[in-house]
Amino acid sequence: MPQFKLRSGRELEVLDNGVDSTRAIVFHHGTPASASLWSQWFTYAADAGIRAISYSRAGYGTSDRDYGRSIVSVNKDISEVLESKGIEKFVAIGWSGGGPHALANTLLDSNVGAITLAGVGAYGVEDLDFLEGMAQENYDEFGASLQGEDVIQQWFIDNASAFKSAGGAEIREAFGGLISETDKKSMEGSFADVIAAAIRSGLAVSFDGWVDDDVAFTKPWGFDLSSINKPVKIWQGDQDFMVPHAHSHWLKKHISTAELTFIPGQGHVTLLVDYTDKVFAQAKALLA
């Protein structure tokens, strides 16, 4: 993927669908993955005449690590990318682990709103049990994360190496109990190939991006949700074992500008398949 050099000297993988516009959607991938996760959405955006930009978060793929990053740290990277591309107005869309990063983007002056799809809530707060309703794999993963980088790095080596080589046919098995039966039905064909390729790409160099995401999720995000004054659209299903629906209700409670679309029967992955047109309609309205 094309590399973008930041003023700090770090580099990021950045994709741009090339639509000639100063308005754009900025896509934040899930945990773990890379910029290519959004390839099918890029085509949809181009057909709609909307500029689309995605990137691999620091530590994923060939994006250099930003050691010690918090959720809000993404803003310094995104602001440089958008400045270089002449983007004057943008909507942030984040799926899963990309959700908090999309919310952080609302602090930027050029942002006009954020859309989160099964976005994760905060850890260690009184009114959200972060792990309740998650599959056992997440309990184990975050338990390792809380013990420090050495422990979580080894946990990924011992338990997540299958993701480094999984193709579309194997990706459902690699996720194990993290995906519901609803999600399994969606994770097939070309869509399964896209997810598998994005994860392989994101982990091709190291587990560092995944490690740093998990650590960032278990510490303060670096901004208060109460400070968000841009429109926020939240999408969530009840068949989600990665980010249970309590997270979406918690986000709605703490973001005064939020609108929650809660859909019974939807899982963690299915939102990327079944609601593309409706999410784009929201993004287009925010960019108008």
Please write the tens of the pLDDT for every residue from 130-157.
Answer: 999 999 999 999 999 999 899 999 999 9
Residue found by looking up tokens 């939102």 in the block = 271
**214-240: average pLDDT:** 97
Percent of the chain exceeding pLDDT 90 equals 98
Provide the 3-class DSSP secondary structure of residue 73. Answer: helix
Is the pLDDT at 228 greater than 90, yes or no? Answer: yes
- How far apart CA 43 and CA 18 sit, in angstroms, is 11
- How far apart CA 93 and CA 30 sit, in angstroms, is 11
Q: Which residues lie closer than 8 Å to 228 by C-beta, 6 or more apart?
A: 103, 106, 107, 114, 255, 256, 257
The model's pLDDT over 18-41, given as tens digits with 9 standing for 90+, comes to 999 999 999 999 999 999 999 999
The model's pLDDT over 265-280, given as tens digits with 9 standing for 90+, comes to 999 999 999 999 999 9
What is the predicted pLDDT for the residue at 140? 96
What is the predicted pLDDT for the residue at 280? 96
What is the predicted pLDDT for the residue at 207? 98
Tell me which residue of 261, 214, 257, 256 sits closest to 238, measured CA to CA: 261
**90-99: average pLDDT:** 98
Query: What's the pTM?
Result: 0.97
Kindly report the average pLDDT of the chain as a whole number.
96
Q: Where are the beta strands (DSSP E) in the chain?
A: 3-5, 11-16, 23-28, 51-55, 89-95, 111-117, 232-239, 258-267
Strands 11-16 and 3-5: antiparallel
What is the predicted pLDDT for the residue at 1? 83
- How far apart CA 210 and CA 203 sit, in angstroms, is 8
DSSP code string of 76-132: HHHHHHHHHTT--EEEEEEEGGGHHHHHHGGGSTTEEEEEEES----SS-TT--TTT
Taken in order of first residue, the domains within the chain and their CATH numbers are 3-287 (3.40.50.1820)
What is the predicted pLDDT for the residue at 28? 98
Is the pLDDT at 50 greater than 90, yes or no? Answer: yes
The burial class, CB within 10 Å (0-12 / 13-18 / 19+), for 150 is exposed
Radius of gyration of the chain from its Cα atoms, rounded to whole angstroms: 17
